[in-house]
Amino acid sequence: MDISKRAQKLEPSVTLAASAKANALKACGKDILSLTVGEPDFITPKNIQQAAIQAIESGKASYYTPSAGIKELREAVAQHIETYYQLNYQANNVIITDGAKFALYLLFQAVLNPKDEVIIPVPYWVSYGEQVKLAEGVPVFITCAQENEFKVTVAQLEAAKTAKTKLLILNSPSNPTGMIYSEAELRNIGEWAVANDVLIVSDDIYGRLVYNGAVFTPMASLSPAIQKQTIIINGVSKSYAMTGWRIGYAVGEETIISAMNDIASQSTSNPTAVSQYAALEALTGEQDTVETMRQAFEARLNEIYPIFATLPGFKLEKPHGAFYLFPNIKETLTMCGYSDVTKWVDDLLAEGEVALVTGAGFGAPENVRISYATDLETLKEAAKRIRAFIEKKTAN
């Protein structure tokens, strides 16, 4: 049987592929240090675990829930947004989804028609463009200069806009760069979107993971007009160390959320019940563990940034949030005799036993992504191995 054309056109996730390759080599006995996956290395906090156990033992987790999620969790999300964004939403403005990735998928399916264009700043998270294509939309990529902290400008948006432009995706703090848009930058972009009737997809998944005095400004908080023009995408995976629980959410205008719910009802039926009760505790329970993890990521960043920044040929901006480094290694490639970043990454894995993610999957073929969501010992040893690999290749 033939595979569908849409499936044939999809590019595989470079992050998941890199992780799978590293795990396969580990299973063969190789001493692989993996800096691939964007996943906190912390265990889900005890209070969240206990809430899940209680939901199982009480029977609450045994049954279908509404496709948009249990009302208590949707209300908790609305309260969470009021606390951290100072915005007023109701439960019917919220949909709970199987991870933030599926919230994005539902959104694109709900609002895009064939040939509608979606502006995506480069570097981008690997699934944005592929999900747009699955909805028969057209991703329009805008390359953002590293000298401008990889941030898109209104002038670039204006140059890319056409009569078909429908959405703009913004991710701040960013995966893969860790950069954060300032309030002024966001306001200018938001006002441009309102003036041009472009829906803003604000991917805020790393909003609580900011460091060294950096401030996360929610796009939706800047004005009532910008709020109306914005769909918030978020979840519990990163801030609460709950990647495996698969709970995300979208918040926005009721008509869009309702359309997303209709699609969800015909696809997943509902997010896993036990995970919803765990997420409810995450959002309403004590928040000290979030700050503890944030401080740990900040300490790692401050310790390992100067180490990686001094690797031969690495050009690296210090990130302000998330948990990634995204160095430009064009000079490194030249020094080592490579013309392709993916080949360099593959050889580093095979010979240096360090797994990174090629920047090509993020639209940046001169960069690599390094996750520092792992322990300091591993990070320091990985840096030593990368340096040794570069020196070996340079000497050849």
Q: What residues have CB less than 8 Å from 179, skipping those under 6 apart?
A: 149, 150, 151, 172, 173, 317, 319, 320, 321
Q: Look up tokens 């995506």; give the residue.
A: 120
Residue type, 194: V
pLDDT reported for residue 23: 82
State the residue for tokens 């944030």.
294
Query: In the chain, pLDDT over 70 holds for what percent of residues?
Result: 100
> What are the residues whose beta carbons fall under 8 Å from the beta carbon of 241, sequence distance 6 or more?
40, 42, 43, 44, 45, 289, 293
Comparing 21-25, 118-122, 378-382, the range with the smallest average pLDDT is 21-25
Domain tally, the chain: 2
Residue 57 lies in a domain: no
Backbone angles phi, psi at 142, to 5 degrees: -115, 115
Same domain, 236 and 219: yes
Domain boundary among 240, 260, 284: 284
Query: Could you give the angle at which helices 46-58 and 273-284 cross, rounded to 10 degrees?
Result: 140
d(CA 22, CA 35): 9
Same domain (yes/no): 333, 213: no
Query: Taking the complete model, does pTM exceed 0.85, yes or no?
Result: yes
Q: For residue range 309-349, what is the model confidence (pLDDT) as tens digits?
A: 999 999 999 999 999 999 999 999 999 999 999 999 999 99
Helix H segments across 143-182?
154-160
User: What pLDDT, in 10s, does the model give residues 157-187?
Assistant: 999 999 999 999 999 999 999 999 999 999 9
Q: Which residue range forms the structural domain that includes residue 155?
A: 63-284
Last residue in a domain, options 222, 251, 284: 284
317 close to 214: Cβ distance less than 8 angstroms: no
Which domain-ending residue is among 226, 254, 284?
A: 284
Q: Is residue 337 part of a domain?
A: yes
Co-location of 181 and 67 in the same domain: yes
Instruction: Tell me if 54 is assigned to some domain.
Output: no
